[in-house]
Structures are given as C-alpha cells and as structure tokens.
Structure 1
Amino acid sequence: MTIYKSEAGARLLRERYLDALRAWPVPHDQVRVPTPDGETFVLVSGPESAPPLVLLHGSGSNSAEWAGRLPALAGAFRVYAVDIIGEPGMSAETRPPLDGGRYAAWLDAVLDHFAVGRAAFLTSSFGGWVALDHAIRRPARVAALALRCPIGLGPMKKGFVVKAVLLALLGEKGRRKSVAGTLGEPESSPVVEHQLLVSANYRYRTGPFPVFDDAALARLTMPVYAVAGADDAMVDSATTARRLTAAGAEVDLLPGAGHHLPAAGDLEFLTRAVANGDFTG
C-alpha cells in the first residue's frame, strides 16, 4: 500500500517539498543513495573538511524541517540531511519493521555511500528513534546524539489517541484543534497548517513505537543531549527526561512547550562535542 492517500495528494506534498528545495538557504548537493531498502534522498551542505552531522526529521515530515537551521549548521559541519524512507520526502516509500535492525542497516548504507565512518546526529521525534536504534546497535559509528522530542524512551500518552479521534469527528475545526494541541502551537500557526495538509494526504504509521529498555540505553557510549517539551501532549516527556538522565545524558525539559520546539541547546552541545574531540577515531 502506498504511504499516500491518493496520487493527487502525493503530487501536492512533493510539489510543496520541491518549492522548499528551490528556496534552500545554503549551497548544497542533492544526492540519491542506493540502499537495500530503496533509494534515499540526501541534501549535502557545508565544508567537506568539517565534522559530519546527520539530520533525521520527524514522522510525516522531510528534510525541509531543517531549512531554517541550515545556515548555522552548515557553517560548522558537513551536513547530511536525510529523508527517512517511508516518509513524505523524496526517498523510497519502503517501511521496514521497527525491530530487527533494518533501519540501522539502512543508515549504514547511507553513511557508507559518503564514506562517513562516524558522525554526530541531530534528530526530531521519530528521527530520534531511528538514531537511538542505530547508536545502540552501532555505537562506534555515532560521535554524539542530539535528540529533540525523541520517542522510544517515555510511553505515548494513552489519552492522546482517544482525544485525537474525538476531535476528528468535529471535522476541520476539530482536526485543527487536535494538531495544534499535539504540537503545542496556536491554531493559526503555519506549522499547524502544514501538518493539516500532510495528515490530509499521507498515511502515518500505525501501532506503537518500540520503547528502548535500560540495557539498550546502557550501550549509548557517546555524548547524548535531549530537549523535550514538558507539556508534550503525545509523549511522556518526564519519563523521557528521567530515563535519559539516568543513562548519563544532558536533558533540557522546556516548561510550556509541546512537541514542536524552538531551537534550544543542541547546536551548543554539538559544538562542544567537536571541541572535546568526540568526533575523532
């Protein structure tokens, strides 16, 4: 089954992404990487000699999510903004199972294509789950992890799905209220408008995301930073913060913030990782 609800919807979301690419804020190369799970679209920017940084966006998104941050990131890193497979970007629609290491193998193929043996990761939501899975399975390949609203650490809030279903019954007004509540954004926000467009045309994954146990988190040998919204309507951020802190990570829990966060702390953390020599080896 296609990840889109219609051919017209697929074209609409692709055109929106192409518009974003035409306005990309930094010089870049667009690379299509062959992998065992299908072609993967990667935007490469920044000095070739700079430390490598991989960007992984959230569910229902693509690398356009990072456009506003690229000027700062590409000034300090060789940036690889990767469209995750099975999401509404320019990569293959393949959706591997979330257990068994397929996503880690897929990321290996992407890194190998660019001859990147070890990189830092900056991630959002589901991208954080993908990066954590890779870091747990391939710790030698991950120099540092910066996680924004990561999933897979605290449980998804049970009331979230029920509330979303009930609000959806109210039509457009209910759906707008649901998306705004999830993101922690005003109903008039452009971010809410975009997510409404995505949800109208894209099929999100169903079913729970696996939660990493304490033994898995103990295998995170690299520096880890996470930032999450204290008022996230979807994820139990307090549990996320507690578990990551216990695993030795730096954690910022932002009061009043939801699942959509302002830039906070991650670039400083990554710059410090470079200064500390965490990218060597």
Structure 2
Amino acid sequence: MTPIYRSAEGARAVRERYDALLASWPVAAEDRTLATRLGDTFAVVSGPVDGPPVVALQGSGGTAAHWLPDIATLAGRLRVHAVDAPGEPGRTVEARPPLGSAAYAEWLDDVLDALELPRAAFLGTSLGGWWALDHALRRPARVTALALVNPAGIGRRRVVPLLKFAAYGLFGDWGRRRSLAMVAKGGLADPGRRAVGEFTLATFEHFKPRLEAIPTVSAERLRELRMPVQAHFGARDVLLDQRDAAAKLRAALPHADVRLAEDAGHFLPGWAEAAAEFLAGQGSR
C-alpha cells in the first residue's frame, strides 16, 4: 500500500490536529470503527437515534471534521454518520483502489452493513459527492436520497487552477494559503469554516493527494437515478465548472432540486438547512 503522507512525522501532525478538531464536535457523538473489506473505517455518529440515517462523505484531503460547521444543523433532525474515506487523511485505512472500479461501492456496502443500515440517504461534497453518486448508480436499492454539495464528476474539471496550485506549491506556506484563498472564494468567513480550512491547509503540507482523474458521470447515467436528489453548486468554484454541472443535472433530472449560488466557490456555505430539511423529508423511504 503506497503511503499517503510524505513522512511519519507529518502523519502524526495531521492526526493530532484532527483529534483536536474532533474534540470540539459541537453535539453529542459516538466514534465508531467499522470493519470493511478495504480495512477499518472511522465514523462519527451524531443526531437522534430514530432520525433518518444519512452517510456523509467529505472531499479529497478531507475528514469527518469537514462537517463541523454544519453538524449541529444536520444532526438536529438526522442521524448523521460522518465517514472518513479510504485513502484520505483521518483514521480510515489508506487504501486507494481505482476510482472507476466497484471497490468504493463495495466499501460503502460494508459501511452500511456495519452500521446495520439496509438503506440510507447520502450526503457528499466534492469527491465525496462523486462517491455518493457512484454508490447510488451501482446500488440504487440502498440509497434513499442524495444531497450533493459541489460534487465532482458532473461538470467539467478546470485545469488552469490546478497548474496554479502546482506553482504555488513551490512557495511553502504562502503558496498553500494562496491556493486555499482561491478555492474558498470567501467561504471561510465563519470561524468554524475557517478552522476547517486551516486544518485542510496544514494537512496538505504533509498529505499526498490523489492524482487520478475523477470519472465523469454522463447525462445518460444521471437519468438512471430514481431517488430524490438535491444538489448545491457554487458558480465561482475554481476547481469544477459548476454552471455546467448544474445545467447538466437539471436537464437529466428535471424534478431534482438543483441550486446554483452565484457568489460562492468550492467551499459552499449556506446549504445545510435546506439539505437537512430535504433529507428529513425523505424519512426512511
């Protein structure tokens, strides 16, 4: 298994900062370690025991701590299982099967089984949105609803910003901060989001991100989705062409709730209340 950190010291530094963030989780929560065929998977479970179950998947370079600014809103109505994805920073196994394979759908099957959930709604952001989409297409009977926040894999991927990020990476901490500012587009004004953004910044000092291209979900495949879908996009996302993604999803799923925030970037604020209401309304269908 290829290491996902540049050094053992860096891995420890990320883990220590992650543990500190988890200690500030604002609602009652239970830490779970779930056995899967890829290896142990870490999850933070919050919300009413009888609430509609939701599996929350963060993006590349993220952890369950990504949900800190919004978990109080989500867990007010939902039983949220915030899962560290494999091959990402956090407490889950470092395995990275090919994104186009069935391995992640099988992993999520195991996650649901370990949580004793025959079916659940999925909430995904960025790469986590792609994992949620992939699972919904491969296992539609196990997905009650989809809430997507700036998901990858629908719209076109922007190449120029990635080149800029590579160049900024040559300038140490200043370069990382400049990259974060480009991605955030003002989305870190809230102290909680700023703390998560700072953690992400520190993580990428030590973490080796995935270089594999994220598969694009075609319009034909999107039309196969039968569960209720809500999607939030930021028009100023520098990583993904989310205007294109929103238009593509609206055309493929006319009955989906698709929202495009004109002034928002990849770190998209203001979606949690609408997503919680949407997911709570689906119940355990």
**Do both share a fold (TM > 0.5)?**
yes
- Verify: 1:268 aligned to 2:274, yes or no: yes
Residues 98 and 209 of structure 1 are in contact (CA less than 8 Å); yes or no, is this contact kept in structure 2?
yes
In structure 2, relative to structure 1, the CA distance for the partners of 1:191 and 1:185 (3 Å cut) is farther
Give identity over the alignment, percent. Answer: 42
Equivalent residues, number: 278
Q: Which sections of structure 2, spanning at least 5 residues, go unmatched? A: none
- Verify: 1:195 aligned to 2:196, yes or no: no
| Structure-2 residue corresponding to 1:220 | 225
In structure 2, relative to structure 1, the CA distance for the partners of 1:191 and 1:53 (3 Å cut) is closer
Instruction: Quote the Cα distance in structure 2 between the aligned partners of 1:49 and 1:166.
Output: 49
- How large is the Cα RMSD of the aligned pairs? 1.9
In structure 2, relative to structure 1, the CA distance for the partners of 1:17 and 1:171 (3 Å cut) is closer
Instruction: Quote the Cα distance in structure 1 between the aligned partners of 2:152 and 2:96.
Output: 17
Q: Which amino acid aligns with 2:142?
A: R
Residues 227 and 251 of structure 1 are in contact (CA less than 8 Å); yes or no, is this contact kept in structure 2?
yes
Structure 1, residues 175-227: CA drift from partner, whole Å, max 9, x if none? 32222112223899555433321111000000311001122111211111111
Residues 187 and 265 of structure 2 are in contact (CA less than 8 Å); yes or no, is this contact kept in structure 1?
no
| Structure-2 residue corresponding to 1:8 | 9
Instruction: Report matched runs for 1:71-90 at 5 Å.
Output: 71-90=72-91
Shift of 1:270: 4.2
Residues 183 and 258 of structure 1 are in contact (CA less than 8 Å); yes or no, is this contact kept in structure 2?
yes
| Structure-1 residue corresponding to 2:121 | 120
Q: Which amino acid aligns with 1:57?
A: Q
Residues 180 and 192 of structure 1 are in contact (CA less than 8 Å); yes or no, is this contact kept in structure 2?
no
| Structure-2 residue corresponding to 1:253 | 260
Shift of 1:155: 1.5
Q: Which amino acid aligns with 1:231?
A: R
Shift of 1:113: 1.1
TM-score normalised over the length of structure 1:
0.92
What secondary structure sits across from 2:165 in the alignment? helix
Structure 1, residues 71-91: CA drift from partner, whole Å, max 9, x if none? 222221111111111110111
Instruction: Quote the Cα distance in structure 2 between the aligned partners of 1:269 and 1:23.
Output: 23
Instruction: Quote the Cα distance in structure 2 between the aligned partners of 1:186 and 1:274.
Output: 25
Instruction: Report matched runs for 1:25-64 at 5 Å.
Output: 25-64=26-65
Structure 1, residues 105-128: CA drift from partner, whole Å, max 9, x if none? 100101011221111112211110
- Verify: 1:204 aligned to 2:209, yes or no: yes
Q: Which amino acid aligns with 1:212?
A: V
Shift of 1:95: 0.9
What secondary structure sits across from 1:149 in the alignment? strand
What secondary structure sits across from 1:80 in the alignment? strand
In structure 2, relative to structure 1, the CA distance for the partners of 1:111 and 1:192 (3 Å cut) is closer
| Structure-2 residue corresponding to 1:183 | 184
In structure 2, relative to structure 1, the CA distance for the partners of 1:196 and 1:28 (3 Å cut) is closer
Residues 17-26 or 227-236, more deviating: 17-26
Residues 78 and 280 of structure 2 are in contact (CA less than 8 Å); yes or no, is this contact kept in structure 1?
no
TM-score normalised over the length of structure 2:
0.91
Instruction: Quote the Cα distance in structure 2 between the aligned partners of 1:57 and 1:70.
Output: 13
Large movers: runs of 4+ above 4 Å: 186-192
Q: Which sections of structure 1, spanning at least 5 residues, go unmatched? A: none
Residues 176 and 192 of structure 1 are in contact (CA less than 8 Å); yes or no, is this contact kept in structure 2?
no
Shift of 1:243: 1.1
Shift of 1:29: 1.4
Instruction: Quote the Cα distance in structure 1 between the aligned partners of 2:223 and 2:131.
Output: 17
